[in-house]
Amino acid sequence: MRKAPTILHLDMDAFYASAEQASKPSLRGKAVVVGGLGPRGVVATASYEARVFGVHSAMPMGQARRLAPNAAYLVPRFGFYKAISEQVMGLLRELSPLVEPLSLDEAFVDLEAGGTAWDEASARLAGAKLRADIRAVTGLTGSVGLAASKMLAKIASEQAKPDGLVVIEPGTERAMLGPMSVRTLPGVGPATGDHLRRAGIHTVDEIVEAGEDELVRLLGKAHGHGLYAMALARDERAVVAERETKSVSVEDTYDVDIHDRVRVGLEVQRLADRCVRRLRGAGLSGRTIVLKVRRYDFSTLTRSETLRGPTDDPAVVREAALRLLEGVDSTGGVRLLGVGVSGLADFTQEDLFAQAAGEGVTDAVEEVGDDVPVEERDVVVERRWVAGHDVRHAEYGHGWVQGSGLGRVTVRFETPDSEPGRVRTFPVDDPRLEPAEPLPLVEALGSHPQHS
C-alpha cells in the first residue's frame, strides 16, 4: 500500500435528486424522490431533505410515498444525468489518466499516476480544487475521500458526505476502522453482515480478533481471506482506467403482472432488440444470450444459451431469447423480464443462421388474459408528459411536467436560472405544448448557485 493518500474517490451528492433540484428552482430545499413511479417502482435517489423522513435508495416507491407524502416524485432523466456525468468525468481525467468510473456519479482517481499529488498536502489541494471545479462547471456538489487505498478512499468519501472532503492519513487506518461496523467493508452486504452478527462479530476490530481461520470457516476461503485483509486495512487493488464490460443487458419491471404468453413473447423480443442496439452502440458482439424472468411470487429464473460464435444480429438474439423463454414456467404471471448478452467480443461471426434455429427447450407457458397493451404504456408513460421531464410551450416557454391525468397535464414554467415559476394546466393534446430537451445547469464558465 502506498505511503501517501493519493487515491481519490469522488461520489456526487444525491446525484439525480440534486440535479433535479438545480434544474427546478421550485424544488430547491424541498424533499425530492427520483425513481419509478408505478406500483412497483423503486427509489433511485432521494434528496437529503427526503432522507430526513427515512426515504432511501432501493426503497419501494410505495413505502417512500407513505414516509414522505408531500415530496416531489419524479421519473429519472438519464440522458440529462449522463451529460452532467460526462462533464464531471472530464474534470477527473484532467487530474490523471487513471480514472475508474463506477457509475454515473462515482469514480476512483489515481492522483499519483497523473503527477497531481505525491503527499498529503498536494492530495488535499487537488481534492479541494476538484470540488470547486465540479461546482463551477455543473452547479452540483460532490464529496471527496483521499486515502492510500481504494477501500479507504471510498470510506473517506462516505464520511465526507454531503459536500465535504476527508483525508485518511496513512498509518491511522487500523485505529479508524476498528470501531466501525462490519458493513463498512466492501463485500459485506445484509446477508454476510447477519451471518457475522450471529457469530458475535459486529465491528471491524472483532473481525481481526476472530482471526483469519475463523473467517474462512464462516464465509469460505475466498471471502474469508479477503475480508480479513480488508479488516487489517490491506487493499492493493489498483485504479483501472478501462473496466472490461462483461455483459450488456436490459430489463423492464411491469406495473401489472403479465400473464398472456403472446404478450410475454413480444416483450422478450422488444428487450432483445434494445439489448442489441446497446451492444452495437458499444461496438461489441457476444456469444451467450441470457434471459431473466421474475415471476409473480418474486422468484427469479435465469436461463442462458451459448452460440457457436459472437453475434450482434437482432434476429439471432431474439430467437435465442424466445427459445429460452419456452423453458420457463410463467404460470401466475411475470413481473420483470430481462435480456442480456455476455461472452463479449469486438467482432461478429457473420454466418449464424443455423444458430437462430437452435435446439428448443420443452414446457409451454400457460396463458391468461391481460389488459395493459405495451403500445399504450410506451406512448403515455415513456414519451408523453412524464413527471419531471422537460416541455416547451409556444406561449409560456420552458417548463417541466408536475403531473398528468384525466386528460390534463400540469406544467411548472421555470428554468435553472429563473425564480420559482408559475403552474399552469393544459389538455394533454394541446398542440402548443411539446417535449423539450433539458437546459444546462450552468450556461457558461463561472459558478452557479448551489441549491441542493
* Active site members: 106
Cα–Cα dist 79/32, whole Å: 19
Cβ-contact 168, 176 below 8 angstroms: yes
- Report long-range pairs for 99-105 (Cβ below 8 Å, ≥24 apart): 99/239, 99/241, 100/239, 100/240, 100/241, 100/243, 101/243, 104/15, 105/11, 105/12, 105/15, 105/81, 105/142
Rg of the chain (C-alpha set): 25
**Which residue in the block uniquely carries the three cell numbers 480479513?**
228
CA distance 6 to 111: 5
Name which of 389, 307, 324, 298 is nearest 73 in CA terms: 389
Query: What is the strand order of the sheet 32-35 is part of?
Result: 43-46, 32-35, 72-74
Residues 6+ away with beta carbon under 8 Å from 324: 289, 290, 291, 303, 304, 305, 361
416: cell is 435553472
Task: Give ∠ CA 248-252-254 in degrees, rounded to 5.
Answer: 170
Count Cβ atoms below 10 Å from residue 195 Cβ, excluding itself. 14
Check residue 165 and report its DSSP letter: E
What's 36's DSSP letter?
-
Phi, psi of 91 (to 5 degrees): -65, -40
Give the CA count within 13 Å in the CB-facing half-sphere of 397.
Answer: 7
